Every structure is written in structure tokens, then in C-alpha cells.
Structure 1
Amino acid sequence: MSTGELLRRAIRRHRGRMIAGVLVLSLHQATEAAVPVAIGIFVDRAVATGRFEPLLWCVLMMVVLFAVLSNAWKTGARQVVWAIEYETHLLRLEIAQRVLDPRGHRTGLRSGELLSIATSDAEKAALVMRAVSIGCAAATALIVSSVSLLLVDVPLGLGVLIGVPLLVLGIQALSPLLTRRTSSQQEAVAQTTALATDLVGGLRTLRGIGAQHNAAARYRRSSQATLRATLRAASTNGLQDGVTTALSGLLLAAVAGVSGWFALNGRITIGQLITVVGLAQFVAEPVGTLGYASQILAMARASAGRLASVLSSPPLITSGSGTTVDPSKPLLELDQVSYKSLSAVDLVLTPGESVGVLCYDPRDADALLSVVSGRAPEHTGVLRVGGTPIEELDIDVVRRTVLLERHETDLFEGTLRSNLLVDSPSLERVMTAAGAADLIDELDRPLADRGQSLSGGQRQRLGLARALLAEPPVLVLHDPSTAVDAVTEELLAEGLAEERAGLSTLVLTSSPALLGKMDRVVVIADGAVVAEGLHSELAASDSVYQEAVLR
């Protein structure tokens, strides 16, 4: 999806309200342009003649004119604002859907940048409807004003008809520069937002290593770069406003001077002079509105480009159409898989088996998790789920079969119960199995965003309980007990073994309590499988293994 396609689609899917809004706002501008004409008629027909009847009709005409003017603005603005707000909502939903797509995305953007796009850019892109509506209304005002001036005096009308387009073209010359600077500003804002998100998330770690001052200095530099980009965009906006105001003033002065000369020579009446001067003064407003509309359009175009880059980004992984998994075959099988630090790894997880994996190098664990989750499209070798290559299976089938619970648990604002997503009769049993029995009485406890009100161990155990409640055929865990004490770790290991009895479980860990409950343990060193067996056997025969797990 291109920038132009996104903007055109925004207008097209709200075309009903946009048509109504443009028509009624154009009526507002037409009646506003008619005010100087009505005043001129009022002067010539009523004031100059001194007759009562024309005076009464002119007063009634002005009442009707202003009643239409005020109600047209209110009605038209309501239609356009509704369309803008609803389009903003739809764009945010699309960005959220794209970001949460289980196939992933290749944007390369951090969470903070995506957040900025989903909030600020979505709002600015939807403003294209405001630019179109006020631009059409301003064009209507110029047409009505020009026709009225032509009816008063042809040379005056032609002067406005020629002068105004030249003025608009001059204003538009600054739009490309404004678009570039607005795009740079939005990118700088997104990068600063992403940095702020990262720093807030890692604040405890930064304080622990004494790096908060370096982090603050880095954020200060990013913030200052954003300020400079914002000031550059603001200066371009200011330049465009200044040019618009100056040229509009010059046009008004020229029209007023010529019309005054014509009135002195008797070529036009006093009422027509008032009409011409009033219209010439009024013309500055729609011309300024056109300049403002071009600014909005430039901002909308810059933000739409960033939105389109996310919405049109290719998925990180491809998904097949297969919908069946053979439960009699190994539920998870790696055949000569190589990826990043991994080299020709073979690993088989049969139905009902629990396997522990000890990686001496954390990079091997990260690479293995990426492969198992299906987020390593560049890997070589074959990854099978239920005997079928993962590329041939539908992504929903893979997600229902294999559940990966990473070391960092994602929790959301709400309560403990809402984060578990299920109110199962086995809830208490599962929480006990996850070593979270102390949280059973606090299920309705409010949680802060990302579970910051919980300790690291509580978040970890809550994540494990949520994974166990899902009862997936294959559960993959990554260091599920690093933030708990030894006693809780032993209870957690026993509970996990009991709860997953008869189901397949793959645990990447160096915990002797967890490895001791596995049916077998696979050891990976330097990217390859170097040993396999029971935990007790490996601990007794391999000094490197013993040093890695018996802490």
C-alpha cells in the first residue's frame, strides 16, 4: 500500500459523511461570501433610497443568511470530525492488528516507534479529510466571490480570478519542503518515544549497574534532535503562513485600490464598492484556508507514508495451508537445523515426553527459541510439527500446537485473573503447580501496566500458570524459574512434571531441579548437540555439565 492509496482509501471509506460534510461546509462558505454582496444590495436598495419595504426585505434576507451560515458550519464540521475520529480509530486498529500478527513483520521498528505511528501518525494521516473538506469549501468561496466580482465589474473579477490561482500556486511551492521536514520530525519523535520506552522498561537494571546518567544523556541528545526537527518543521509552517498573509494582503490592497478608483469615476455604485472591498477582504480567508489545507495535507502525507510502511511490510514468516497434525509422530522435530549460532542441530520431542535443553552459550538458546517459534525464516534444515514441515502448516495450527512461554513475561494492566484469560475449575491447582499458590487469594488484585506492581518471581510464576492453563500439546519454556528461590523452584519443578504428565514439554534451562524432572536432557555447546541423557547421569560423568548446573 502506497502513501497515496492509504489517503485515498481514508476518504473513500467515509465518502458518505465526506460528501455531506463538503457540501454543507461549501454552503457555509458560499453564504459567507454572499454576506458582502447582501450588504452591497442593502446599501443600494434600502439605505440609498430611504424606502422602508426594501429595508425590511434586506433585514429578513440577512437573518436567513446568517442562520444558514451558522447551522451549515456546525453540521458540516460535525460530519467531517466524525469521519476523522473514526478513521483514526480504524488506522490504529489496523496497525495493532499488523503488529500483533503472529507471522511477525519486517519493519525493523522498535515498540516505541510503532506506538508513535499508531497514535500520532494515525491521527495526522486521518486529517487528510479535514484538508480536503476545508480545501473544497475554500474553493467554493473563491468561485462565489469571483462570480460576484465579475457581475459587478469584469476587469475586477478577472483580476481576482488570475491573482488567486497564482497566489495558491506560490503557496503550494513550499509543500514539498514542509512534507520532508514534517516526515523528519515524525521520525525523530518516534525514535525518542522508542528510546523513552526502552529506558523506562529497563530502569531498574540501569540503576542496578549505575548507568542511569549515561541513559539520561542519551535521551537528552535524542530529545534535542527531536526539538531541532520540530523547530525546522515549525519554521517552514511559519514561512508558509507569512507568505500566505503577505500575498493575500497585497491582493486585497490592489483590488480595494482599483475598486475605489472606479467608484470615484462613477463606474460602480457605493453599494458595489462595499461589495468589492468586502469580497476582496473576504478572499484572504479562503486563500489562507487553502494554505492551511496544504500544510495539513503535507503532514497527513508524511504520516501516511509511515503508516503505509508498516501496513505493507512483508510478514517475518510464511504460513502454509495445512490444518492437520499427526499426533502419533514427533510433535516437534529439528532435522539438521542451522541458524545463527546453531549448526546442524537434531532434536526430537515425542508425544508425552519432557525434554530439558541446556545451552552453555545463551546465544544458542535464543537461536533455538527463534527456530521453534517459527520466527527464523532464514534457517536451514527442517523443523517439523507433528511430522509436517512448519512452513506447510497454517499459522493458527502451529500456535494451537506449540506454545512458547519466554523468559520475559508479558502482563497487562487489569487484574491477576484477567491476565490468566480463563476462569477454569483447575485454576487453583495449576497456580499451585506453577509455585504461585501465594497469589490465589489475590486474583482480583489490580495490576499496573506490564505487571510492574509484581516482583520478578511473581510475574514469572504467573506467566507459567497462564501457559499451563492453555494445555498446549507442546509447551516450550525458557528459564521459568530464574527469579524464584530454591524451595519455590523445587515446588515448581514438581508441579510442572505433574501438570504436564502425558503432554510434551521442552524446557530450556540450567536449573538442576527442572532438569532432574525431565525424561532426558540435551546439551548444546558451540551450536551443536554434544551430549544427551538423564540429568543424574550427565551430572555424574560430565564436569562441564556439572559446573553449569550444580550451582
Structure 2
Amino acid sequence: MQISDLPYPDPGVPDARSGPRFLVWLGRGQLGGQAKSLCWGLVHFGGVAGLPYAVGLGVEAVVQRDGTRLMLVGALLALIGVAISVGDAMLHRTAVTNWITAAARVQQLLARKTAELGSALTRRVAAGEVVAVSTGDVEKIGWFVEAVSRFLAAAFSVVAICVGLLFFAPSIGVVVAIGVPVLALSVLPLLPRATRRADVQREKAGKATELASDTVAGLRVLRGIGGEELFLGRYREASQEVRKAAVRSARMWALISAIQVLLPGALLITVVWYGSVLVLDGRLEVGELVAAFSAVATMLYPLRHFEEIAMAYSFSRPSAVRAARVLSLTRTDAPEPEAARSQIPGAPAPGGDLYDPATGLLAPAGRFTAVVCGDPDLAGRLAERLGGHPADDVPAADRVSVLLGGVALDELALDTARALVLVQDKDPVLLSGTLRELFAVPASGAVEPGAALTAAQCGDVLDALLQSAPDGVEDPMDARITERGRSLSGGQRQRLALARSLATDPEVLVLDEPTSAVDSHTEARIADGIAALRAGRTTVVLASSPLLLDRADRVVLIHEGRVAATGTHRELLHGEPLYRAVVTRETDEEQRAARTELTRLEEARLEKALTEIEESA
């Protein structure tokens, strides 16, 4: 595949069981590119391997004053020069293609995994680690993938030089054939230690990147509490740890490089000395000595690729381990993707009820259901579960899937589940771009952006965007939103995100505190807008605001992880003390009294039910 063909239509299903397996899977996926690179590498290094013998033949022709033979050797040298030049250029071209292709494939896989897991990804893996994998790690993984073919070609040239010397000059070729394997294997005892030091460096660098990423993400909060210097000091310490680890790693690689220079130099001196003795004894021709000298000197170039492949693997292995750890994450503990696709049931019929077996929550189809939770964390986990993402802290055996129309959401194909259910969390993200691009999301087409903006009460937001837009921009839909909407207030960002969710018009819309950052008057109008725009569609709002709850068709109170009461807002407000305590923000003493009253009412209901049973009997 050419670079122009990227990105892949389908990057494939990676073998993420371990880092080395992931590297092997990447290499198998680029066999064509590896074959091209190997072929051009053989052309290049074949020319390099043949150069010493051509030089030796030329020297012999000069010594023997054979002009015809010298001309033939000159033509051979010209041919070898063309092979070296063209092979080198094409080897570089194909190797870079392999590098970029491998890196692009890994980035596609990471992007697909990020889209699959959504917000669950950062709960399982630190955001900084994801950044490290998608930036520096993909380059190191690509480096190893492209270095493999060059190493194989270099190894072929070394073998060819040694074998050629055994036939061209057997007396001196034996020395070279024995010395070269020693050179190639001399650094092997040092590689495990160098690899461990490289792993330590990469681990510390990854932690520093995570710290920097988390600090930048919370910079506004840090400034608000004056914590910049504290985190700056922590980052300085992390940076110094990275520097020390990098120096220790570099020392080991410098030692390996020194050995790669020292031992070939010693072999070269040995060949010259021993060859001179053989020439003086008449057992070796001058041309053969020159060929042997040139061969050993030439081998310094391909031998460097032995060091490079060791470095590439040492640096790419921890990167591949991190990438495999991210790519091995799944939405659920379902079977592997290939097996899972064959077991996915059909999509539920339109208009089905949404039911959560874990809490007993039932959201009837086509109704506006409000959910009240005393625990905000429980509300957030419930919202994630309603979107088909079971909690990570629950054992796999205890996880239950939310049902839509009787079909488990987490067993559906991801695209199908997301087309049916949309979850907007407490802190939705606005990407930079125009307002028109913000609404360029998959949608049913039944709700226009203008209607969604009106329902979300975004009139002042449109005016603000238009005022800050450059001259010539007359349509607020063409106004640009800065990164994460930083130029807007929290309430304005929240309303724009709500309008985007309303415009998608999913079959089931789950909103987690969609009006927490707006005033009460705006909240009341938004509640009316949601109820009107979502009429006949299933809507679940997790909130504790009486203004939203009063517009809901049905209100569900969840206490200690289970449904405690169901009814309208006014019914629950007058008849359920615990509900009243949560919604009206009563004190702890008042809440305890409400729980006592709730227990008394439940006992009274139970006693009444038993009495009715006895009377009917």
C-alpha cells in the first residue's frame, strides 16, 4: 500500500495480547511493503558487498598490466555504483513508507479504540498515557517495523562478504569469517541491561508526560487555587528523573557503539597484519589483500544496522506494550471482536422501553423520565450504564446490561448502540471550529439545528459568537468556537452541547444535569424546550432541579442503588419524605427524619397489604 492510500479503510483487529505480538502483527500486515524494502535493500547492500571484490580485481589487473580486464572491472564498478545509489534511494523511500504506514495504522487503531470506549477510556488509562502512546510511541513502533527489512538486507550483505572472501581469498577469508560473528554477537551480553535502562527511561518519560497532560488539563483550576508552583516543582522533579534515566541509558548505548567501532577496528588491523605476512610469504596476492581490507572496512556500514535493530526493538517494545494495553481494552467482557460480531443480536424494535436491571429503573418509550439520585457519583455511573458502558469497578460476573426493547445494549454493535442511545455527561466537550461544524454530527435529520438551539435557549450564545466573529461573518453558524469553547461561559457551553444533543434526535436521549450551569429562568425555558422538542421520544434526565422535574412525565427516585419511589414530581414531593429531602436540600437531621418517615410509610403499606390479603382469604 502507498502512503497516498492512507488511512486504511479498516486497520484490522490487532493482536494486543503483548507488545511483541503486536509488533509481529504489524509486520505481518505490511508484508508487501517489507518485501519491497528488502528487495531494494538487497540491491543496495549487494552492491556494497560486491565493491571490495571489484576493487581487488582492479588492483590485480593493474599489477598484471591487463588493460582489457581493467576496463571490465571499471564497467563493473560503474554498475555497482548505480546499484548502490538507486538501491539506497529506493530503500529509503520504501523504508519511510513502512514507517509512516505502521505509525498511521497504530494511530487509526488508537482513534478507533478511543471512539469505542469514549469517556470510559480515561477511567481505565491515564489521559497522559494515551497522549504518549498516540504521539511518541507510534513513531518508535514505526521505527522498528521499518528497520526490520534494512537489518535483513544488511545481514545478507555481511554473510555474502564473508562467504565471498572464503572463495576469493581462502587464507585470509577464514580470519574474517571467524571474526565477523564475534563482532555481531559481542554486544549481546549488554543488550538486556541496555533494554532495562531504556524501559526505565520510557516509564519515567511516560509519567512525566502524564503529569504534564493532567496539569495542562487542570491549569485553570490550579491558577484559581494558586497551585501552579506546586505542580511546576513536581514536573521539574519528574523531568530530572527522566534526564538521569536518559543519561544512564545513553551511556550504555554509547558503550555498545564504542564496541561496534573498537572490535571492527581490531579486526581490520589483524587482517592487514596477517595479510601482509601472507603477501610476503607469497601465499596471498596484493589484490586479494586489498579486497580483504576493503571487505572488512565496508562491513562497518552494514554492521551498524545490527546495533540499530537492537536499539529499535529496545525502544519500541515498551511503546508496543503500552499500545497493546490500550488496544486490549474492550467495551465489555464480551468475546473477541471476530467472535462477538457473529453473536450480536439484531437491533431492538423502535419504541422499546429502557430498563436497567441493576437499579430497577424503567424509562417508558416515548416519555420524558426524570431520575433523582442523592449521590452524584451514582448518577454519573447510571448515565454511563444507560449508554451501554457497565462500570469498570464491578466484577464481570456481577455486571448487568441495560435493556432497550428487551435487547442488551452492550451486546449490540457499537454503531448500533450509539445510534439508539446518546448520553450527554456533566462536562460535555466542544471542539474548536465553526458552529456549523459543531452540528455536523450523525443525526436523524428530523430536528434542525435552529430548532435545537431555540429549545436550548442559545440566543445570547449566537449573539456572543457573532460579535466576536471577524468582519464579513453574518451568519452565527459560520462563527468559530475556540478550543473547548473557552471564550464562552460555562452556561453557554452547556447550552450549546445540549443543543447538539437535541439536534441528533436519537431514539433515547440521556442527559446528566444538563442545566446545572444556568439560572432558574433559563432553566425553566430549557425544560419546556426539551419537553416540546422530545415529545414522543424517550428522554431520561438525571437531575435534582424542581424546574426540570416538574416538566417530566414520570420521576424516579433512586436511593442506595435501587428505585425507591416513582410518580410525578408533585406526587413525590408531597408523599415521599426522602424525595423531598433530596430535591429541597434538607439538612442531615431532616433527611434522617425523612428516612424514618419513609420506613414508617413502607411498614404501613406492608401492614395494609397483609390486612387486605387476610380479608380476601
TM-score (norm 1): 0.89
Residue equivalent to 2:344: 321
1:142 counterpart = 2:142: no
CA deviations over 1:138-197 (Å, ceiling 9, x no partner) = 222222322332234323211111111122122222233333333333333333222222
1:371 counterpart = 2:385: yes
1:415 counterpart = 2:434: yes
CA deviations over 1:93-146 (Å, ceiling 9, x no partner) = 112212322596699312221222123222212223333222222222222322
Query: Cα gap change, 1:6/1:360 in structure 2, threshold over 3 Å: closer, same or farther?
Result: closer
1:109 to 121, 125, 140: 125
SS in 2 for 1:262: helix
Displacement of 1:35 in angstroms is 2.4
For 1:124-143, list aligned pairs within 5 A. Answer: 124-143=140-159
Residue equivalent to 2:108: 93
Distance in 2 separating the partners of 1:400 and 1:478? 18
Query: Cα gap change, 1:389/1:288 in structure 2, threshold over 3 Å: closer, same or farther?
Result: closer
For 1:528-543, list aligned pairs within 5 A. Answer: 528-539=562-573, 542=577
Residue equivalent to 1:429: 451
Query: Cα gap change, 1:272/1:14 in structure 2, threshold over 3 Å: closer, same or farther?
Result: same
CA deviations over 1:470-506 (Å, ceiling 9, x no partner) = 1122211111112223333232222112111222221
For 1:139-218, list aligned pairs within 5 A. Answer: 139-218=155-234
**What's the C-alpha RMSD, in Å, of the aligned pairs?**
2.9
Kept in 2, the 8 Å contact 1:317–1:374? The answer is no
SS in 2 for 1:408: coil
Displacement of 1:393 in angstroms is 4.6
CA deviations over 1:22-41 (Å, ceiling 9, x no partner) = 12222222222322322222
1:445 to 463, 467, 479: 479
Distance in 2 separating the partners of 1:122 and 1:54? 52
1:506 counterpart = 2:522: no
Distance in 2 separating the partners of 1:410 and 1:149? 67
Distance in 2 separating the partners of 1:381 and 1:72? 59
SS in 1 for 2:152: helix
Which range moved further: 184-193 or 103-112?
Answer: 103-112
Distance in 1 separating the partners of 2:162 and 2:126? 52
Kept in 2, the 8 Å contact 1:521–1:535? The answer is yes
Displacement of 1:54 in angstroms is 4.3
Distance in 1 separating the partners of 2:400 and 2:36? 59
Displacement of 1:389 in angstroms is 4.3
1:68 to 83, 98, 102: 83
Query: Cα gap change, 1:387/1:452 in structure 2, threshold over 3 Å: closer, same or farther?
Result: same
Aligned residues: 540
CA deviations over 1:18-69 (Å, ceiling 9, x no partner) = 22321222222222232232222222213x3556544444433332321221
Displacement of 1:74 in angstroms is 0.7
What code does the residue aligned with 1:92 have? Q
User: Which runs of 5 or more residues in structure 1 are unaligned?
Assistant: 338-344
What code does the residue aligned with 2:160 have? V
Distance in 2 separating the partners of 1:60 and 1:520? 92
Residue equivalent to 2:554: 520
What code does the residue aligned with 2:371 have? V
Distance in 1 separating the partners of 2:26 and 2:408? 40
Distance in 1 separating the partners of 2:123 and 2:561? 28
SS in 1 for 2:362: strand
SS in 1 for 2:77: helix
Distance in 2 separating the partners of 1:60 and 1:397? 67
1:81 counterpart = 2:103: no
Kept in 2, the 8 Å contact 1:167–1:247? The answer is yes
Distance in 2 separating the partners of 1:80 and 1:201? 37
What code does the residue aligned with 1:438 have? D
Residue equivalent to 1:312: 328
Which range moved further: 50-59 or 11-20?
Answer: 50-59
SS in 1 for 2:360: strand
Kept in 1, the 8 Å contact 2:556–2:566? The answer is yes
Displacement of 1:280 in angstroms is 1.9
Query: Cα gap change, 1:151/1:485 in structure 2, threshold over 3 Å: closer, same or farther?
Result: same
For 1:226-241, list aligned pairs within 5 A. Answer: 226-241=242-257
User: How many percent identity over aligned positions?
Assistant: 31
1:261 counterpart = 2:272: no
Displacement of 1:405 in angstroms is 0.7
1:11 to 7, 27, 38: 27
Displacement of 1:468 in angstroms is 0.7
1:273 to 274, 289, 299: 289
1:405 counterpart = 2:424: yes
Distance in 2 separating the partners of 1:525 and 1:134? 64
Distance in 2 separating the partners of 1:351 and 1:145? 77
What code does the residue aligned with 2:376 have? P
Displacement of 1:431 in angstroms is 0.6
1:350 counterpart = 2:364: yes
Which range moved further: 408-417 or 49-58?
Answer: 49-58
Distance in 2 separating the partners of 1:296 and 1:215? 33
Which range moved further: 437-446 or 528-537?
Answer: 528-537
Kept in 2, the 8 Å contact 1:252–1:281? The answer is yes
TM-score (norm 2): 0.80
CA deviations over 1:346-401 (Å, ceiling 9, x no partner) = 32211222122232222221232233223226356674322344455554443333
Kept in 1, the 8 Å contact 2:434–2:477? The answer is yes
Query: Cα gap change, 1:42/1:394 in structure 2, threshold over 3 Å: closer, same or farther?
Result: closer
Displacement of 1:528 in angstroms is 4.4
